[in-house]
Amino acid sequence: MKTIRTTCPYCGVGCGVLASVDDAGQVSVRGDDQHPANLGRLCVKGAALGETTGLAGRLLTPEVDGQQVAWPQALAETAARLRQIIDQHGPQAVAFYASGQLLTEDYYAANKLMKGFIGAANIDTNSRLCMSSAVTGYKRAFGADVVPCSYDDVENSDLVVLVGSNAAWAHPVLFQRLAQAKRDNPRLRIVAIDPRRTATCEIADRHLALAPGSDGGLFAGLLNALAEAGACVDGFRDGPQALAAARGWDVARVAAFCGLPADEVAGFYREFIAAPRAITLYTMGINQSASGSDKCNAIINVHLASGKYGRRGCGPFSLTGQPNAMGGREVGGLATMLAAHMDFVPDDLQRLARFWGTERLAQTPGLTAVELFAAIGRGEVKAVWIMGYQPGGVAP
C-alpha cells in the first residue's frame, strides 16, 4: 500500500492528510498526526476525501476547441495563442485568474510568468473577494501582510474572541481544537460575536448578538475602555490618533449603536482588559463588508494598544476561507503586489527584476478580480487563464 502525505483542499484550516492507495486502487484517508494544523483530526468532509477520487466526470486529457489532444500540442497551442495576443494587443490583453486551491509553488510560478516575463501584473485570485480586507488591515498595521498568530495560540490563551466566524461549520477542525482547549482548561473564556446564534455559540461563555455591521463600533469602544482603564501599553505607534478616534465611544453609546445590553458590552470589555492573554479570530463576517478593512484595523488596534500580540496566546488572527489563500499572498499572487511581500516601488522592482533575471518585469499594479472581469466584458482582456476555479459555477 502506498501512502501519500498531502493537504485537505477544503477550508482554510489546511489539515494534513495521509492518503493511502491499495493494490486495487481504492483510496482511504486519515488525519496526519504530525501536521501542526490538525494534529490528526479531520472533519466529516476531510474524512470522506477518499470518496471523491473517482474519475467519472473528470477531464483526463487536454482539449483544444473541444477536441482531445496530447499535452505537447495543448501547451504549444496555448503558448502560440497567448503569444499572438500579446504581439497584437500588448501584455495587458492577457490575464491569469488563480485560486486559494493552488499550491504555493504553482502560485509562485504563475506569478513569475505573468509579472516577470509576460510583463503585466494581471494575475489575481478568488482570494481577493474574501481576504483583501484582512490584507489591507495587516498592511496598514504592520507594514506587511503578516499574521502574527498560529493555531497553537488558540490553545494557550485565556480569552478567545470569535468575530463574524462560525468556526463550528466553516473551520471545523480549528473549532474541535478550541472545544478541546475549553475542556482541558475550564478557565478559558470564549466570546462569540455574531448577529446570529450559530453552532459556534454553543461553547461560548458570552454571545454578543450585535446589530449587523456594528463590529467597528464595538471594538472602538473596547479601545476607549482600554484607555480609560489605563491598560494601554507604551509605544502603541498609532496610539494618539486611534485613541482620539475612539474617544466618546463609551459603553452607553456602543450599546445603543450595536443593539446590545450595556451590561453585556461592559462585561466583554472587562474580560478583555483582565485577560493576560487574548486572541481574536475573525473571518468573512468581518472581511466581506464595505468597511471590512476598517473593522480589521479596529480589531488589530485593541491588540496593539493592550500589548496582546507577538507573544504566546495573543494576537489578531484572520482566518482564511481556502487552504492556501495565505500561501498565494506570500508569493505575490495578487495584482497589487510583486512577490514575497514586495510592492510596486523602485527598490523592490529593481530587486525582483535582478533576482528573476528579467527586463520585462511589470512596473505597475494590474487588474484586480472585479476589474479583471469588467475588462473581459469590455473586450480589453483577450485571454484569461483560470486556475483551480470555476467562476461560471460559483461566481455567475
- The C-alpha atoms of residue 315 and residue 164 are separated, in whole angstroms, by 16
Rounded-to-integer distance, Cα 260 and Cα 207, Å: 10
φ, ψ for residue 163 (rounded to 5)? -125, 120
DSSP 49: G
Fold match flag (3-52 vs 63-126+324-386) = no
The fourth-level CATH superfamily of domain 130-318 is Dimethylsulfoxide Reductase, domain 2 (3.40.228.10)
Ordered by start, the domain boundaries in the chain are: 3-52, 63-126+324-386, 130-318
Kindly state the DSSP code that residue 199 receives in the 8-state scheme. G
For residue 226 the three cell numbers come to: 482600554
Give the helix, strand, coil percentages of the chain, each rounded to 5: 45, 15, 40
Spatial separation of the C-alpha atoms in residues 15 and 45, rounded to whole Å: 11
Distance CA 267, CA 270 (A): 5
Question: Which pLDDT does position 237 carry in this prediction?
Answer: 62
pLDDT of residue 195: 98
Three cell numbers at 12? 482554510
- Which residues, listed in sequence order, are joined to residue 66 by a DSSP beta bridge? none
- SS3 call for 39: coil
Give every CB contact of residue 220 below 8 A, 6+ residues apart in sequence: 245, 246, 249, 254, 298
C-alpha span between 239 and 142 (Å, rounded):
14
Is 280 in contact with 163 (CB distance < 8 Å)? Answer: yes
Domain 3-52: which CATH number of 3.30.200.210, 3.20.20.140, 3.40.50.300, 2.40.50.90: 3.30.200.210
Report the CATH architecture of 63-126+324-386. 3-Layer(aba) Sandwich (3.40)
Rounded Cα–Cα distance for residues 287 and 130 (Å): 6
> What kind and span of H or E run contains 282?
strand 278-282
**Intervals of the chain under pLDDT 70:** 237-238
Contact 272, 278 (CB under 8 A): yes
CA angle 158, 42, 23 (to 5 degrees): 155
For residue 167, what is its C-alpha cell? 468556526
How many Cα neighbours within 13 Å face the side chain of 184?
11
Q: Which pTM was predicted?
A: 0.92
DSSP class of residue 164 equals: S
**Predicted pLDDT of residue 290:** 87
What confidence score (pLDDT) does residue 54 get?
A: 83
Chain center to CA of 179: 22
Number of separate helices (H) and strands (E) present in the chain? 17, 13
Burial class (CB in 10 A: 0-12, 13-18, 19+), 389: middle
User: Is the Cα dihedral 354, 359, 364, 368 positive or negative?
Assistant: negative
Give the whole-angstrom CA distance, residue 362 versus residue 114: 8
